[in-house]
Chain A
């Protein structure tokens, strides 16, 4: 099983600041199989990035993704109020599919 470890667990930032979220895999995975989701309280997750670096439909360009092998990153260039949420990375490459434990981006 591929374990995804996200860091930090919580990110306390102010609107307008830059956020960088990390996801490390226990073994190398293809970027084609790495996705990120955003989840707000009481809601289902929403696709944010797929193929490690492709923004999903409707995701603003302040979000960017990168990485390969075992290390992947999502950056939010300038936090907007609606960006405060929990973010999960997810790999579909090797069953069982797994999720990271999440990074909470909270208002400082």
Chain B
């Protein structure tokens, strides 16, 4: 059973870059035709999609964050990563990594596996 685990600093200073890694265990990141995604949730608020990547390296980002976001994949480490530059307090949130099941694999489109989430606070 595939599991995801986020890791990275829990505290980032304003204007710096937030960097998180998601480690995939229980299966290869290249098996199947899955997308790999990042989603965040400010405390007490709803979910916001940040972006997704495929193991080929192709990406799609939320336009609201596109100028600051990079999602990349390292198949040799079975990991994918999130970089969010020029952070402010508004980027304080729980960040989730997730596996997305596309129609080519699952007949439907949905997020089937979530990491437990990691809290990132932006503060000096």
Q: A44-B96, A45-B114, A92-B100 are in contact. Are A54 and B108 (CB under 8 A)?
A: yes
Binds A, one of B21-29, B44-52, B85-93: B44-52
- When chains A and B are docked, how far (Å) is the Cα of A106 from the Cα of B107? 33
Name the one of A33, A95, A101 contacting B108, with C-beta atoms under 8 angstroms: A33
Size category of the binding interface on chain A? 20 to 34
Contacts of A54 in B (CB 8 A): 108
A40 contacts chain B at the CB level, 8 A cutoff: no
- When chains A and B are docked, how far (Å) is the Cα of A54 from the Cα of B106? 12
- When chains A and B are docked, how far (Å) is the Cα of A95 from the Cα of B37? 12
A51 contacts chain B at the CB level, 8 A cutoff: yes
Contacts of A50 in B (CB 8 A): 101, 106, 108-110, 112
Contacts of A56 in B (CB 8 A): 112
Residue pair B47, A32 in contact (C-beta under 8 Å): no
Chain B stretch 68-124: residues in CB contact (< 8 A) with chain A: 96, 100-101, 103, 106-112, 114-117
Residue of B nearest to A31 (CB): B108
B89 nearest CB across to chain A (Å): 21
Q: A33-B109, A44-B114, A90-B111 are in contact. Are A102 and B96 (CB under 8 A)?
A: no
Residue pair B46, A88 in contact (C-beta under 8 Å): yes
Chain A stretch 55-82: residues in CB contact (< 8 A) with chain B: 56
A19 nearest CB across to chain B (Å): 19
Contacts of A100 in B (CB 8 A): 46
Residue pair A88, B116 in contact (C-beta under 8 Å): no
Name the one of B49, B96, B100 contacting A96, with C-beta atoms under 8 angstroms: B49
Residue of B nearest to A50 (CB): B110
Which B residues are within 8 Å of any A CB, using their own CB? 37, 46-49, 52, 60-64, 96, 100-101, 103, 106-112, 114-117
Which A residues are within 8 Å of any B CB, using their own CB? 1, 32-33, 35, 37, 43-47, 50-51, 54, 56, 88, 90, 92-93, 95-102
